[in-house]
Each structure stands twice: as C-alpha cells, then as structure tokens.
Amino acid sequence: MLAGRTEPIMDAPTDLTRPELYLNRELAALEFNFRVLAQARDPRMPLLERMRFLCISSSNLDEFFEVRVAVLRQHIAFGDARPGSDGMPPQDVLARIRERALELVSGQYRVWSDELQPALAEEGVRFLTRDRWNARQRRWLQGYFRNEILPVLSPLGLDPAHPFPRILNKSLNIAVVLEGRDAFGRAGHMALVRAPRSLPRLIRLPPQVSEAPFEFVFLAGLLQQFADEMFPGFKVQGSYQFRVTRNSELSVEEEEVENLASALSAELAVRGYARPVRLEVAENCPRGITDLLMANFELSEQDVYRCAGPVNLSRVVSIYDQVERPDLKFRPFTPRLDPALVQGGNVFEVIGKRDVLLHHPYESFQSVMELLRQAASDPDVLAIKQTLYRVGSESPLVEHLVEAARAGKDVTVVVELRARFDEEANIHLANRLQSAGVQVVYGVVGYKTHAKMLLVVRREGRRLRRYVHLSTGNYHQVTSLLYTDLGLMTAHAEIGEDVHKVFQQLSGLGPEIRLKRLLQSPFTLYRGLMQRIEREITHAASGRPARIVARINALNEPSVVEALYRASMAGVEVDLIVRGACTLRPGMPGVSERIRVRSVVGRFLEHSRVYWFANDGHPELFCSSADWMERNLMHRIEVCFPILDSRLAQRVHDEALANYLADNTQAWLLQPDGRYTRVQRGEDPAHSAQRTLLAKLAG
C-alpha cells in the first residue's frame, strides 16, 4: 500500500472533498525517493552517477525524517491529530511511513551491496571491509589511525560519572562493549566513540598498499577495528555503528521576537540536539545495546532502522570527485552563453530591445551574473533590488552587490533567513551585506519570501528605466548547473513597475497592491490560478477545446485538486508534470479520467514551474517560483510572471512542456492508487527531455 486509501470509485461523487479522492501528502513525498533509487538501478546510467543517485535517495530520506516525520510527531505531541484532506490520522500516517521507509532502506542497501559495489569493483573502485584488508593494508591503516584519527577522538566510557552524552544530529557513532577494569578499578561495560566532523568518512588507500586503482575504507571500519587502542587494558567484545536523526525544523515565533536574526541564531545553536525521530543501527547490533540507545533517545522500536551496511550511506558520495574516471560519469557539457550577453557587450542595450529567456542548466547562469556585474559598475544605474533565498558560499553575486553599494548605488536585498538548512549561511550573508552598506530586510513576518526577483533602475536620458530578471529558481551558481530552471530578462514597463511595487511592499508597510502583469502570493496568485481553471471549465462546457498543462515540483493544495477534478469532469484535458509529491489521484472514472500526472527523474533535478492554459486558442503561459502547494499559494511571498513575447512563450511551451510530455525514457506515470510506473515506449523512438535540451541548447 502506498499514499493513502485505495477504495475504488464507482460513480462520480458530488462531494469532491471526500478523503478517498486524495493521496496522503507525506507518503506521496516519500514515494519520490523510490523513483530516485530506480536511477541507481538503471544500467543505462554511468556507474558513478548511479552511486550518486543512491546517495541522493539516502540524504533525501534523512531530510524526510528531519522535517516531515518530525512535524507529524509535533502535531501528535501537541494534541493536533487532525487528518489531512486524505482523512488519515497522523498516527496512521506514521505507521504507513514506517512500512514504506523500511522498504526503501532495504532497497537502498540491496542496491549498494548486490549491484553497485560489485560493478564498481569490476571497474577498479573497491570498498574494503575489515575482513578484506591484507597485512600491508592493515599496517598502513593502523598507522593512519594512530597518527590521523586517534589524536582527535574523545572516547567516553559510560558510568555514573560519565552519563550518556548528547549525540549530534546525523553524526557517526560507535557503541563499544568492553570487558575488564581500568587503572581506577572501574569495570568496563560500554563506551561511545563519536566521529568528529573534521574526519573524512572514507579514507583512500595510497598506491603503495592498493591492489586496485581506487580503494577506500570507511572511517567506521577503522574505529571498530582499532577500538582496543582507544581503551587500553580492556578487551573489546564488540563494536557497532549507530546514528540518530533529529527534528531539524526551526521553531521561532516571529511575532514575539524583536530580532529575527538573533532568534534564529539561538535556535541554530541547539538544532543539532533537538528531539530525536529516528535511530539507525548496524544490522548486527545486539538487542541489549539497541534497547539502551532507544531508552536514551526516548524512541520506540518503531523508530529503529537496521542497516545492512554503513549507517551513513549518503557519505559514499564523497568518492565521486576522488575517482578520476570520466567514463563512469555523465559527459560534461558547457552551458550556452547568449552571444549578445557575453562580457564586453552592453546587457542593457540587449534587454532594452528584446526579452531574453534563459533555460538553465543548458544556458549559462553567467548571463545573470553579467547583468548584475554591469549594473554594479554602470554610472547610470541608480538602484539595485534583489531577493536572495539560497545563494551559496563565495558567490560572485554577493561581490557585485557589495561593489554596487560601495559605488554609492542604492542597494536593497531581501534575505530570507528561514530558507531551510541555509539559515546560518543566510545570517552570515545578511551581516556581510549590511557591513558593506547594503540595506538588508528580512521580508514579512509570517511569510517566507520565496520569490526570485532582480530589479535594476537605470537613468537613460531624461527618464528612469527598469530592468528585471525573474526566475523559477534561486540565485545560486552551483545549483544552476544541477537544477532545471527558467529565467526571464525584460525591460517591459508594466512588469518592471509590478516588481518595483513588490519590493516596496517587502521593505515597507502598506495596503495590498494592484499589479498589472504579475500574480503574487499570498494575494492574487491563488485567485488567478483558480480563475484560469474555471475559464477552461467554461470553455469545455461550451463545447470548445479546453486544456491545462502545468509543470511543478509538488501539488497538494486541496482546493486546487478539487478544481482540477471539476475541470476533468467538465471535459478539460489536464496534463501535469509533477516532480515530487502529488496528492491528486489521476485516471479515476468519472472524476479524473482526463487528468494525467507524470514525473521525470533524470540527470538534473526538475525545478521549473510553468503553467499553460489553452484559453480557446489564445493561450496564456506563466513561469513562477510557486508550486501548487498550500504553503506556496497561501503562506509565502511568490511571484508568477507571464511570458509576453509570443516567440519565447512558444519556446517555453516546446522545451519545458511538450518536450517533457513526450519523454519515454525517464518519465513515470502516477496511478490512481499512488504507485508510479515507468512510461513504456514500445516501438516509439527513445526520447529523453533532458538529453534533447542538452543537444539543442548546450555544448
């Protein structure tokens, strides 16, 4: 059983809010990781890329427990056990998560031990367990342990004077069972060894002791093999890996704090030791030790996951950059750079004459950097305004903003401090920008600023002109090479005016603003989306062709799902390309038989959001930072922008929608019961949306 109930729907219900019409959002989110794991099993994928997909599925599962499971636990603890739109009580959801997570974990370790390790070994990439070390390797590893590892360890024997220590979230730990007495006459029973973050989790053997081009040993193996050197005089009876996952959701009552940055900093200091939600132990860990760990972490048997391999499987990804085997990786590519936007040309002249569309990662993010670089140094530029959600360390973008402020330009940056897992980096970013004279604001209390906007105000003769960049993704150079996103550069006067108004709203106070071209959450985006769905319903009811195509990361807003059901029942054809969680059940007779939901999982993480409405032969196409989720539509500040240039709109339709609907190699179809099945291409030629765009746009 997967995401929610699976009772058959015999007749079209009049009540489209019935729980059996909806999949569970948490289980639907968990299901995405099975599609990622399938990439690790795909023999068509380069071998090291398969290993990377395995690690992604493992790290995704970590985050799932840190956030989604943790929030469910909080709801139950606080007595808020209300079911979601699918009708499942939180306790039932946790039980189903347990069942499905066990399947995922079992699958991950089977892929690791039965498929990837043997295949990598054939290619000269070996992971040596303790029983496979030869004498020379053992001597070298013992020396490495004594010189590089032992000096930074602080083993802890457990007794009344040394109680169970605080264990950091997702850290590697070894439980050691001891026999004997120390110099003080203390009897040894059990000790803990915490692996410091400074130590590499995988150690590469040097050529002089290697029997293959690339041989690695897990740090955990060294800690277990040489445990007796940490406890001289004791006999080591056994040693076992374990890891605990903790709640990583920050809880700050924004309305009750005077300084959000200070409050978040205080929360970050203790996040690594928040409430535990999962315990991972080695498969061979004795019951007595597992019981002791459960008692200390206040967890139950339902929270324990036994691992048939390293408990920190996601850390295997560190070898990707250490193994110099291009033939085992995706072919490198060079993102295309628009010749008109290369360094040396005048970006403002180009954008002033025509809109520019950027499709990342196939087209270079450097064009955005060049816009900001020129804005920082151009004496005619008076002001720069930008939103930053995730940026990345050492980003040249920050240098350009600092340079602009030091050049006397008015620079305002909206930094979203509550970007999950980037809070600390964003606090440092905000402090650095403020030190350079940039006006930094943190958005609006209670609403994350998730919009991706850059505004440049430039004097041209007797007038001021606005230049804008809007995007579906973050201003992050690294992820621009890994995520698919769409960006628009434009000098369209009404779009520029709208963006300016949104920035004014973010940095100041005032009533709801009226926008001419943009749709904005939490005000007009939801309403505008629902109106356009209703418009397609009206067209269908009048006998006219009606269609909706949307590409988003997730869909779980119940009223949007209900509206799509009504659209299907009215005759509207609906195609949804949803990367992750989708709570809509497609293909139900009489309800959603005209709705098709597909998910594409490939080399790049699908991140673009595109909405297309047929509109009786006058189609509308929007790009957005918002998914069709309650949080995006109701509780965040998002923007949705139209592609007004008909040529560019057609290009977005062809590249980001039609291209993905034609994918028959990396696409999955969502079934009414919540399961996904691979698209079968039959005798059709193979078509990969991502490879098609690489061939078309990139070098």
The catalytic residues are 450
Name the amino acid, one letter, at 424.
E
Measure the CA angle with vertex 270, ends 265 and 271; round to 5°. 90
State how far the Cα of 365 lies from the Cα of 359, in Å rounded to an integer: 9
Residue 78 in contact with residue 58, Cβ under 8 Å? no
Reduced to 3 states (helix: H, G, I; strand: E, B; else coil), residue 179 is: strand
531/696 Cα distance (integer angstroms): 35
Distances (CA, A) of 95 to 21, 72, 100, 581: 21, 11, 9, 19
Classify 600 as helix, strand or coil.
strand
Burial of 125 per CB tally in 10 Å (0-12, 13-18, 19+) = buried
Gap between the Cα atoms of 26 and 93, Å rounded: 8
Question: CA 348, CA 274: separation in Å to the nearest integer?
Answer: 49
What is the 3-state composition of the chain as percent helix, strand, coil, each rounded to the nearest 5?
Answer: 40, 25, 35
Report whether 39 contacts 618 (CB < 8 A). no
Q: What phi-psi label fits residue 526: left (phi over 0), alpha (psi between -120 and 50 degrees) or beta?
A: alpha
Residue 178, classed as helix, strand or coil, is strand
Q: Which residues pair with 242 in a beta bridge?
A: 173, 281
Q: Take residue 298 and report the two structure tokens written for it.
A: 């206040």
515: its two tokens: 């926008």
Q: What is the distance of C-alpha 485 from the center of its chain? A: 14
CA distance 409 to 381: 7
